[in-house]
Amino acid sequence: MIKEAEEFADEDQKFKERADLRTSLLNYIRSMQSAVDGVDGNDLGQKLNEEEMRTISGAVMDGLDWLATNPDAEADEIREKQQELEASCSPIVAQHLGAAAESENAIGSSEEEDNHDEL
Work out the number of other CB atoms within 10 angstroms of the CB of residue 25.
22
Coil, helix or strand at residue 81: helix
Percent helix, strand, coil in the chain, to 5, is 90, 0, 10
- Say which residue, 23 or 42, is predicted with more confidence: 23
Between the CA of residue 4 and those of 13, 14, 18, 48, what are the distances in Å?
Answer: 14, 16, 21, 54
DSSP 8-state secondary structure symbol assigned to residue 39? G
- Asked if residue 82 lies in contact with residue 64, where contact means CB atoms within 8 angstroms, the answer is no
Q: Mean pLDDT, to the nearest integer, of 38-63?
A: 86
pLDDT digits (tens, 9 = 90+) for 51-96: 999 999 999 999 999 999 999 999 999 999 999 999 999 999 999 8
